[in-house]
Chains A and B, each alone.
Chain A
């Protein structure tokens, strides 16, 4: 048995000094520690899951773009010009993968940590605030999203689907899309208590993936359905990336970006409020 005694109050011996920062009870300005924890955990345990998230959209691109594309030929691109079918769906698939990665990270992953691993409870017993935790987890989802987006864009380049340097802007745009979904996903997950409820998220995501002008233009739908799809976030992501990949910009580009900025702000508000209610009430 060790006979060594532990160092008594040292570092913390001085009385605590109240902070004058705004949001002091919610935010300690230490998002870095949460991100650092996530990277360390990913490193040591679940990098295989990480890799699978990259492969999936590439498989879709090969199957649909090259396979189905050989039957379809060319379609009308965002600038009105004719483009190959693979070039048409590739940016859409990138938007979908940004969405899926962010949703997985901010729902299933967070659901588990919230209800089973009690990880956040431990974090909030330290000087971290709920906003540090929320931002840190979201940032991790974004790092992963950025990694996937870069990989997928590289694959597009190799397949000859990139024709303009503007297409590189798809990477930050994909991160913006991921941010929107991640900030909302975490807040929504905080309401979920059972696996059945979590399945509802998957149930909502699939039709959004299939029908948000991913594989064919919106014009095939009757007017009211078009309006519905335009209200959903994925359509804005698909259109934004499609425009960037073609190097075509107009007023709609700004609207798509703005849609995500608003989504991010509302999502952060929701998530921080929920974490506060769950852990600091």
Chain B
């Protein structure tokens, strides 16, 4: 579906995307994980044919999006980072009018709009104004709108940023159904739980470059230990205590608010800490996540 080779986008002298290469197969759910400013959105815009690449090769469903923007976009659904619903139109009209932009006939759009409203659980809001919707509803409507042309590929830029946990779970459920129905999903996120939930495969990007590629489980296996022990000694003591922890676990990270000890058995590591007479304020043993992978690869956390 997507083939990118040495894809580069420069703004002046600054390379927002700096020579990345990846492939996405049909029906796959592919993620771009990275902090703000990593070049994720720029990459999405190039895939969507609304940003011209500076160099490299890019083919979307076999076509160059720079040359065949309208044709490529006809087969894409786009969910931008910030909702851009048409506030002058009511909920259902937003779907119909958007479908008209693709040149689709009313006879197709009327039943399709009703089907999508049901999918987005907005049937009873069909005649509402946009500003009467909650943030989660707007997001669901934006996703419903992106499906009006029955796209083969859906581009989701930070789909759940700014939503409360319940709204996020509803949205993930909807996206999962789309994936099951065979739509290729491309999503950017800086939430590792989202990436773990939705992505079959992902690339970790930082400063416009790919740091690692693989399935969430494989990335964790490769770049982190099975478990992580989190210790908090209070913000002043974390750094000074770190030296006394030397040798416990495979690897350690000292963050301003806590110390992380990477070990395959977190409980065993905690016993070693206690044996050295150290008394952390709080302790937590958890499984490794993509956050740890990112920390390992870049030395920084995902959300600054």
Contact = CB atoms under 8 A, between A and B. Distances in A.
Contacts of B178: 6, 8
B71 interface: yes
A236 to B, nearest CB: 34
Given A25-B70, A126-B102, A127-B101, A118 B82 contact: yes
B69 interface: yes
Nearest to A4: B118
Contacts of B93: 40, 44
A44 B88 contact: yes
Contact of B102 (A2, A4, A127): A127
A13 B51 CA distance: 24
Interface stretch (B30-38, B147-155, B285-293): B147-155
A130 to B, nearest CB: 9
Given A25-B70, A30-B103, A126-B102, A40 B151 contact: no
B177 A5 contact: yes
Interface string A106-126: 000000000001110111111
Interface residues of B, number: 55
Of listed A8, A117, A126, residue having the most chain B CB within 10 A: A126
B180 interface: yes
Interface in A7-56: 7-13, 15-19, 24-25, 27-28, 30, 32-34, 36-37, 40-41, 44-46
Given A24-B68, A41-B88, A127-B73, A6 B101 contact: no
B101 A30 contact: yes
Contacts of B182: 8-9
Nearest to B104: A11
Contacts of A118: 82, 84
B121 A117 contact: no
A240 B63 CA distance: 49
Interface in B65-95: 66-76, 78, 80, 82, 84-90, 93
Contacts of A1: 121, 170
B242 interface: no
Given A2-B121, A6-B177, A37 B100 contact: yes
A18 B183 contact: no
Nearest to A123: B101
A118 B71 CA distance: 22
Contact of B74 (A12, A40, A119, A122): A12
A237 interface: no
A221 interface: no
A9 B75 CA distance: 9
B115 interface: yes
A128 interface: yes
Nearest to B72: A16
Query: Binding site of B, secondary structure by majority: helix, strand, loop or mixed?
Result: loop
A129 interface: yes
A7 B102 contact: no
A4 B86 contact: no
A25 B115 contact: no
A149 B198 CA distance: 56
Contacts of A127: 70-71, 73-74, 101-103, 149
B191 interface: no
A164 interface: no
B180 A5 contact: yes
A280 interface: yes
A281 interface: yes
Contacts of A19: 68, 70-71
B273 interface: no
B101 to A, nearest CB: 4
B48 interface: yes
A25 B68 contact: yes
B102 to A, nearest CB: 5
A166 interface: no
Given A28-B103, A30-B101, A128-B101, A41 B177 contact: no
B87 to A, nearest CB: 6
Nearest to B97: A37
Indicate the member of B50, B69, B147, B180 with the most A CB atoms within 10 Å: B69
A216 interface: no
A125 B145 CA distance: 11
A13 B152 contact: yes
29 contacts: A1-B121, A6-B119, A7-B115, A8-B178, A9-B181, A11-B108, A12-B149, A12-B151, A16-B61, A16-B62, A18-B63, A18-B67, A19-B68, A25-B68, A30-B100, A30-B101, A34-B101, A37-B89, A37-B100, A40-B89, A117-B86, A118-B82, A122-B86, A125-B50, A126-B101, A126-B149, A127-B74, A127-B102, A280-B52
